Chains A and B, each alone.
Chain A
């Protein structure tokens, strides 16, 4: 990608020093393809501070890919991401490290290290980035674990605790360094409804108590309506909807309506059903025209 010149990078950093009220995250013209599979096709948006955002969309539409671009884990083919004014992808490695300290991530499977206890997992980013005394670190860890209601499980190993507890431990680790932004990749997947409620409330509370910006990836409608300030829908490599939960309820877009209502028929599934049918009938993937071709006919010119 063609990064801006160093002077651009430094001026953008200077900007962030001036306006700490600017957007928490600014995504600019991001493109990403895996081979011929264009996953993100020129995506741009800004997210304000102190709010809960949800990015939703069908499975495989590129939500995790977008997340990886935002957290500086996988470089997009084009475009860039500003985290609190720091250009993640144009900046040098040091600036990226700096940007990383501004956010925490709760991964889909919690991504706790199995060789460490819950408390050691939470302590990991703290000991890594600070020179605090062990007693101070222990105190910080205890505080974060209490905040997510995991004070009793500090000395347990990740394989000894349930999925919901893992999520909470992962959340404690994500907020260990008091980040300004927390990303959540499908925080509700694999949880029972009560635990979903617990996690939702936790996210809502943390956003208010700690004043963080939350960016959630989820397609759990109940929890979207419960906690989102604003919803973005990703589909076909683009942002096809952005609005409040109320606007989401009353939208007239057939695409978004189908997703919200969970209708099996509609613009989202139609092409995939045909593709699957063609796959089942003919094996090799052929461009789907929507017309059935008898097996004998498809080799004819």
Chain B
């Protein structure tokens, strides 16, 4: 009995701790959003220069990997789905499968996962190192809010760039799928495009972009929060980075699930197709 009670108490304490840090993360995130909004109006909050550096770093330099993985995902999807479809019906339907699944899930989710591994990890490592080096504390004692100065430019860059990267990922994946379909499976280009028009709605694309926006918020808040929660030694930076990436993956995949349910509700209400 005592053992059960002990374990329950430990579990309770664990859940309590997680909820407390979730609460802190939410507060941190809304703080970052507020500073970003104010930073757009007042250049003292965060220097524009930092924002541009972050846009270049998080956005421009992620373009090649997004296009490469996007094209490969589209090609793989069509290559693996077409034979199965062909057994039960018109193989041209693969255009619809590829279009809907890329725009609704694969594009936003995979682009976000790549972004978390590339950019989110860097956010945590950079901010964690600055925390250990007392640079965050130094900003604070100079009367400069570290969240405004360090987090807001990263937050703004991520929220701006991840949807853009997702568009590139989507385009590369659709193009890759299209090329494999007409070269390897003997589907005519006009058939492929016809089926695509029939099955794929613009709301699939826009809702995918909405998802990527949510993922960008989740990634930048989780990773910056984890970076700021580093205490003590440099070794903790590595651990925090790993935890941040894992937390991002869970948040992205779970978030995708919830957002898909939400999409279905919207579809039932005829708000989206």
Q: Using CB atoms and an 8 Å cutoff, list the residues of chain A in contact with chain B.
A: 68, 71-73, 97, 100-101, 103, 105, 107-109, 111-115, 124-125, 127-129
In the complex, chain A residues whose CB is within 8 Å of the CB of B44: 127-128
CA distance A283 to B133 in the complex (A): 32
25 A-B pairs whose Cβ atoms sit less than 8 Å apart in the complex: A71-B141, A72-B141, A73-B141, A97-B143, A100-B141, A100-B142, A100-B143, A107-B134, A108-B134, A109-B133, A111-B133, A111-B134, A111-B135, A111-B137, A112-B135, A113-B135, A113-B138, A113-B139, A114-B135, A115-B53, A124-B142, A125-B142, A125-B143, A127-B44, A129-B143
Of B50, B53, B137, B143, which is within 8 A of A107 by CB? Answer: B137
Q: Assuming A107-B138, A115-B53, is B144 touching A124 (CB within 8 A)?
A: yes
B194 close to chain A: CB less than 8 A? no
B140 close to chain A: CB less than 8 A? yes
Q: Using CB atoms and an 8 Å cutoff, list the residues of chain B in contact with chain A.
A: 44, 50, 53, 130, 133-135, 137-144
Q: Which residue of A lies closest to B50 (CB)?
A: A115
CA distance A146 to B139 in the complex (A): 23
CA distance A114 to B139 in the complex (A): 13
Question: How many Å from the CB of B42 to the closest CB on chain A?
Answer: 12
Please state if A109 and B142 are interface contacts (CB–CB under 8 Å).
no
CA distance A128 to B53 in the complex (A): 20
In the complex, chain A residues whose CB is within 8 Å of the CB of B50: 115
Q: Which of B50, B130, B133, B142 has the most CB of A within 10 A?
A: B142
Q: Assuming A115-B50, A115-B53, is B137 touching A73 (CB within 8 A)?
A: yes
CA distance A71 to B138 in the complex (A): 10
Q: Which residue of A lies closest to B144 (CB)?
A: A128
CA distance A124 to B137 in the complex (A): 14
Q: Which of B50, B130, B139, B141 has the most CB of A within 10 A?
A: B141
A109-B134, A111-B137, A124-B144 known; 14 new pairs, CB 8 Å cut-off, are A71-B141, A72-B141, A73-B137, A73-B141, A101-B143, A109-B133, A111-B134, A111-B138, A113-B135, A113-B138, A114-B135, A128-B142, A128-B144, A129-B143
Q: Which residue of A lies closest to B140 (CB)?
A: A73
CA distance A73 to B144 in the complex (A): 12
CA distance A111 to B141 in the complex (A): 11
Question: How many Å from the CB of B16 to the closest CB on chain A?
Answer: 16
CA distance A128 to B211 in the complex (A): 37
CA distance A115 to B130 in the complex (A): 11
Q: Assuming A100-B143, A128-B144, is B138 touching A105 (CB within 8 A)?
A: yes
Q: Which of A68, A72, A107 has the most CB of B within 10 A?
A: A107
In the complex, chain A residues whose CB is within 8 Å of the CB of B130: 113
In the complex, chain A residues whose CB is within 8 Å of the CB of B139: 113
Question: How many Å from the CB of B237 to the closest CB on chain A?
Answer: 14
In the complex, chain A residues whose CB is within 8 Å of the CB of B143: 97, 100-101, 125, 128-129
In the complex, chain B residues whose CB is within 8 Å of the CB of A124: 142, 144
Q: Which residue of B lies closest to A101 (CB)?
A: B143
